[in-house]
Structure 1
Amino acid sequence: MYEIYSAYRNSRIVNHNRWSIAKEVNKLVDILVAGMQSELSIKKSSGYKYNMKTLIMELYHSHLTDKDQYIAYFRTKNKYDFKIGLIKGISENRYNKNPHISYTFFVGCVDYLASKGHIENNPGGQFRDDEGSAYGYLSRMKANESLISLWKEYNFNPDMITVFKPAETIILRGKEENVTYLFKDNEVTKKIKPLIDYLDKPRIVNMRKGIERYNRLLERTHIDVDVDCMSQSDKDTILDRLLHAKDKTKYTINLGAKQVYRVFNNGSFKEGGRFYGAWWIGCPSIVRKYITINGEPTAEIDYSGIHIHLLYALKGLNFPELKTDAYELIDNDPDRELNKLILLTALNVNTNQSTAKAVFKEARDNKTKHKYKLKKHKQVDDKLELLKQKHDQIKEYIAQGYGSILQYHDSKVIESLIEHYSKQDIPILTIHDSVICQAKYKDFVYDKMKRLYTDYINSALKCNTIYESIHPQARHSLQQYQKAYSAYSATLIPELNPVLAQQINHAGKMPVVEYPVIKIKAKTINANCSNVCHHAKRLAKIKAGNRIFLGKIKIEHKVLDNITSLSIIQ
């Protein structure tokens, strides 16, 4: 039974916003719904046509992305009541853009395709494995060969896939709550953060415009990852992680998932706000090293301990001026790594007890309990008290559930960074508090990240921190180039390298003056591409002007003849 569940885990939730305006799609939909009318004595066909089109295009998109992938969907009627939670006077659900989707029509179309053998349809269930752990899953479906043949017969192609309306890019979720429901005659309780509707105030409208501008830039940018050319040591590390992971057998990267959205929490636009949705956000860090942008190598630049810095900023203090390591309780503390885990965990929970539980879970999942010599929760409690004493100025925020508020502040800094580079048509990829950019822009992004962080804590949090640009002359030159040659700036920017190297102004060599400000770490990856890998082939097609459908990359471990190895499928 667990093997069945494992196969069903390769799935994604249904997207009711999938659509097409292609004549070929309409012809196939008409044929299928005509069959339903004939066999099921259906009188009104319009509702079935809307739902059949969404269903067919969802199955087609899923098949192109990953032939083995299932689509999870609901067979419960109340899950199709999309008007629940709407604000009075608003008729459209912002999270479900297709108003034609209904339980009767959609599930009816699923059942008809299943009856004709066009799809594999598996009702949801709940069961226990050999160890007694409970598992459950929604109903699953995927295309069979007969439907694939129909797509070919009607000349389907990826360009036909569209959306009914642009998806909402600003998500507001409520506070976590317990929801109890009957599932297969069993009472099941789950914790959820419900979606909340809201009014589009001017600030929200402007925020959405910024996300849409950024998404358009990402859409016209080729963002890839050269996994074939990973170093052997990195492949060995990934294999080891997969072999020792508690509940993971593979990493899946969906190269087509490039659009982002923001999620705010606890019913407030002052909590959360981080960017989600794009494939690189959930990509393992060891794989992110091999990301390319428009075929070029990249650098990853991240803020070091931004949440600690923000907490001090909330008190009007600049943490670097204290000249202390946030995670050391003694000089050269051997437990620094454990201290860091405890303190950062405590920022996202409400109590000391929750901190200890979360730390132990993290240590179990990552097989580090032995490394940290963790045996009792009291060890974590004692360390946390010492860390509170060290950070006496901000102890009122520790283990008090401030995580979502801190996320709001770091998301505002990242929002400014995205806005700045979107206007310059320079794609950057964000992973919460870090950024990936083309290596040639590393120095500029590094400088801008420090500048925007300093500007934010000074303006929004009333700090008084000084930051002097490390490369002011180069930045000025960049601005002049872009003003004069905006259409060609991407090719002219490398000409600024001598300026960066020499740092010369009218008075001679320009001194580098660093005031105490947040540390930023930058890593440039110099991966050696074989030029015969899948990455190189995709890039060659795109440079030749061909549009390709970017599907999934699967990185998993396989056993053959008692030999375990890493398998990369793309």
Structure 2
Amino acid sequence: MPYRAPNVDNFSHARWLRQGFVLREGFREYLETMTGDILRAEGRRPRRDTVTKIRNTLNVVLANLFQTHLVDFNRYVIIPLNSNPYRSGPYNPQRLDLRNVRSVVRFLHQQEPSYIEHRGGNFDHLANIGHPTRFRPTERLIRELETVALDAQPEAHINNEPPRLTMNTLENNPHSPWASLLFEEHEAPSVRLRAERQGEGGPRPFIDFPPTAETRAMEERLERINGFLNDHWIDLLIPDDDFRQLTGTPDEARDEFNDPKPHRREIDLFFRRKLYRVFNNGTFENGGRFYGGWWQGIPGRYRKFLTINGYTTAELDYSNMQIAMLYAREGRQLEGDAYAVEGVPQEYRGLLKKTLFKIINARGHIRAPLVASRPPGWDWRTLLEALEQRHQPIAAYFRSGIGIQLQRLDSDIAERVMIRMRADGNLALPVHDSFIVMDGQQDALREAMSGAYRDIMGANIEIAADETLFPQLPHDQGLVRALGFDNFERYADAAQNAGALDYEDHITNLEMQPAYEAYRQRRLDFIRIQGEDWGWRHQFLR
């Protein structure tokens, strides 16, 4: 059975309610029955508009609770009980409002036994952040939804394949593309504008704006990019146990400035494959970066395990990008590593990088890092002065808040890279200042990145290559053991006796191990849903 009792109670391990996320048609009867129960419990008249609003609200709440539990049974869903998030407009496609949200939540909580457990909102004075109310489903709700899900599968098959939704699918492989039999998502606009920040608090709301020729053109380009992206399957070639651990509850960690490190974003392989752009401070001159791809939220050390259509990948990134952009503005070329200061040991590069980013993004002074995080013999003032001296040509931009304007430029560059790669039939996954492609497409990506940067900045920039999975395959002892050998020597002997194993042999041997069963199943499920033509088009019928 898919219900698994939470074993970690981490208040911060939560995601916001996705207001366009709903259950599919097969749940209609269940939703209508519970809607009637809610109206009777609330003593409300069953007028048509009231029934529709309650049913739509219930649909969104249950879909979020059900899917979140399937993917990560420890995660909460944040369902705000104030009116701010439920503004009418394109970001609220089901027309949720506070009254109906409260009615649904109250009903689910007051039933005996309850359908949901909740944690009330509070304010963390240490972190200076407010936590809104959050919820998790109980066993009763999950068992009822599971029963409906298994009884209400569509009669029509997908590409002549029968539905593959089983108990095993729900419990062991919630990221399978067959999840499309249960849920669907009404997309919010792909170009989004946040309000100007007003003090501290939760996420700034998205605001409506009159479309312009520029924003329409952005949306059209994003539609083409997302259509191309949707035709590919992105996954992680890691053992199934490691995958479950990666998507589980994050550690509570803080950086050198005692700021909480970002918690893992939601890793959802099927419903987090579309990109959108986010602009900030009520203007299209600030921000504009691409978000929405689940691969953007995984820790960097896992990115070399990404696969596209079953093939391993490579990552290239712009070196010192925002700093190089400031030098380009001054008609100068950045020399060397922007995050290296003479006399500061290399192991403190991360601190220098964060400090430099804070300096160009902040307006005014920035808080000092923890004493234990600083290089021996360096006080905070001396470290700042050394950074300013190192970057004297661009020191005028320090504490100017220009970083948010640079994001508009680097996001325009990223858009050009993706469009150029798509024109040649190559998918490039953006991670702000880096891109991930199938291994073997690095030369095409490097050319696209160099050209896009020159187009926008009128200058050149260094492009670095991150470590790929393939070169380390025969030497990584963990991977060798996963292939069934005690050590590299035994693996090398077997490879020599069988003839030299090439790139695809390594990958095939790895993914066929028992520890990768869920990975193999997700890949095969995607092929079945896409159909045979997709397999031939991507040379992926192996």
What is the TM-score normalised by the length of structure 1?
A: 0.69
Counterpart position of 2:268: 254
Counterpart position of 1:57: 63
User: 1:272 offset after TM fit, Å?
Assistant: 1.0
Counterpart position of 1:137: 131
Counterpart position of 1:523: 467
User: 1:342 offset after TM fit, Å?
Assistant: 3.7
| Alpha-carbon distance in 2 for matches of 1:62, 1:376 | 46
| Alpha-carbon distance in 1 for matches of 2:346, 2:81 | 54
CA displacement 1:55-83 (0-9 Å, x = unmatched): 2222222222222322111222x336514
Aligned ranges for residues 112-261 of structure 1 at < 5 Å? 112-116=107-111, 117-126=113-122, 136-154=130-148, 155=151, 158-163=179-184, 165-178=186-199, 190=201, 193-228=204-239, 253-256=267-270, 257-261=272-276
Select the residue among 330, 342, 356 that pairs with 1:343: 356
| One-letter amino acid matched to 2:146 | K
Counterpart position of 1:7: 10
Select the residue among 98, 104, 111 that pairs with 1:103: 98
CA contact (8 A) 2:236 2:519 kept: no
User: 1:153 offset after TM fit, Å?
Assistant: 2.9
Counterpart position of 1:305: 320
Select the residue among 368, 373, 396 that pairs with 1:369: 373
| Alpha-carbon distance in 2 for matches of 1:335, 1:71 | 38
| Alpha-carbon distance in 1 for matches of 2:115, 2:386 | 55
| Alpha-carbon distance in 2 for matches of 1:411, 1:455 | 13
| Alpha-carbon distance in 2 for matches of 1:328, 1:68 | 41
CA displacement 1:500-557 (0-9 Å, x = unmatched): xxxxxxxxxxxxxxxx643433432214535225545433453364459xxxxxxxxx
Given the superposition, is the C-alpha separation of residues 114 and 423 from structure 1 closer, same or farther in structure 2, using an over 3 Å criterion? farther
Larger strand fraction of residues:
1
| One-letter amino acid matched to 2:34 | L
CA contact (8 A) 1:114 1:121 kept: yes
User: 1:143 offset after TM fit, Å?
Assistant: 2.1
| Alpha-carbon distance in 1 for matches of 2:240, 2:143 | 35
Given the superposition, is the C-alpha separation of residues 369 and 331 from structure 1 closer, same or farther in structure 2, using an over 3 Å criterion? closer
User: 1:447 offset after TM fit, Å?
Assistant: 1.9
| Alpha-carbon distance in 1 for matches of 2:145, 2:28 | 12
| Alpha-carbon distance in 2 for matches of 1:376, 1:225 | 42
Given the superposition, is the C-alpha separation of residues 8 and 525 from structure 1 closer, same or farther in structure 2, using an over 3 Å criterion? same
Counterpart position of 1:495: none
Greater alpha carbon shift after TM alignment, 190-199 vs 421-430: 190-199
Given the superposition, is the C-alpha separation of residues 385 and 267 from structure 1 closer, same or farther in structure 2, using an over 3 Å criterion? same
User: 1:33 offset after TM fit, Å?
Assistant: 1.7
| One-letter amino acid matched to 1:521 | A
User: 1:298 offset after TM fit, Å?
Assistant: 0.8
| Alpha-carbon distance in 2 for matches of 1:128, 1:396 | 36
| One-letter amino acid matched to 2:93 | K
CA contact (8 A) 1:301 1:435 kept: yes
CA displacement 1:9-48 (0-9 Å, x = unmatched): 32211112123451x2111011112223444433222322
CA contact (8 A) 2:417 2:452 kept: yes
Counterpart position of 1:264: 279
Greater alpha carbon shift after TM alignment, 444-453 vs 58-67: 58-67
CA displacement 1:399-453 (0-9 Å, x = unmatched): 2111011111111111001122234442221110001111121121112211221
Larger radius of gyration: 1
CA contact (8 A) 2:269 2:294 kept: yes
| Alpha-carbon distance in 1 for matches of 2:137, 2:94 | 22
Given the superposition, is the C-alpha separation of residues 374 and 543 from structure 1 closer, same or farther in structure 2, using an over 3 Å criterion? farther
Counterpart position of 1:450: 450
Counterpart position of 1:560: none
Greater alpha carbon shift after TM alignment, 395-404 vs 110-119: 110-119
Counterpart position of 2:540: none
Counterpart position of 1:553: none
Given the superposition, is the C-alpha separation of residues 376 and 330 from structure 1 closer, same or farther in structure 2, using an over 3 Å criterion? closer
| Alpha-carbon distance in 2 for matches of 1:139, 1:346 | 34
| One-letter amino acid matched to 1:16 | Q
Counterpart position of 1:87: none
Q: Would you say how many aligned residue pairs link Structure 1 and Structure 2?
A: 445
User: 1:214 offset after TM fit, Å?
Assistant: 2.2
| One-letter amino acid matched to 1:435 | F
CA contact (8 A) 1:218 1:258 kept: yes
Q: Secondary structure at the match of 1:446?
A: helix
| Alpha-carbon distance in 1 for matches of 2:138, 2:152 | 16
CA contact (8 A) 2:315 2:434 kept: yes
| Alpha-carbon distance in 2 for matches of 1:325, 1:449 | 19
User: 1:315 offset after TM fit, Å?
Assistant: 2.7
| One-letter amino acid matched to 2:191 | I
Given the superposition, is the C-alpha separation of residues 103 and 422 from structure 1 closer, same or farther in structure 2, using an over 3 Å criterion? same
User: 1:209 offset after TM fit, Å?
Assistant: 1.9
CA contact (8 A) 1:11 1:72 kept: yes
Alignment partner of 1:426 is 2:421: no
User: 1:289 offset after TM fit, Å?
Assistant: 1.8
| One-letter amino acid matched to 2:138 | N
Select the residue among 518, 524, 529 that pairs with 1:543: 524
- Unaligned residue ranges in structure 1 (runs of 5+): 84-92, 179-188, 236-240, 459-464, 466-515, 549-570
CA displacement 1:454-513 (0-9 Å, x = unmatched): 22223xxxxxx5xxxxxxxxxxxxxxxxxxxxxxxxxxxxxxxxxxxxxxxxxxxxxxxx
CA contact (8 A) 2:31 2:58 kept: yes
Q: Secondary structure at the match of 2:284?
A: coil
Q: Secondary structure at the match of 2:78?
A: strand
| One-letter amino acid matched to 1:170 | V
Given the superposition, is the C-alpha separation of residues 80 and 517 from structure 1 closer, same or farther in structure 2, using an over 3 Å criterion? closer
| Alpha-carbon distance in 2 for matches of 1:341, 1:249 | 14
What is the TM-score normalised by the length of structure 2?
A: 0.72
Q: Secondary structure at the match of 2:74?
A: coil
CA contact (8 A) 2:287 2:407 kept: yes
Q: Secondary structure at the match of 2:440?
A: helix
Q: Secondary structure at the match of 2:307?
A: strand
Counterpart position of 2:534: none
| Alpha-carbon distance in 2 for matches of 1:128, 1:82 | 26
Given the superposition, is the C-alpha separation of residues 57 and 522 from structure 1 closer, same or farther in structure 2, using an over 3 Å criterion? closer
CA contact (8 A) 2:237 2:511 kept: no
Given the superposition, is the C-alpha separation of residues 315 and 140 from structure 1 closer, same or farther in structure 2, using an over 3 Å criterion? same
CA contact (8 A) 1:20 1:160 kept: no
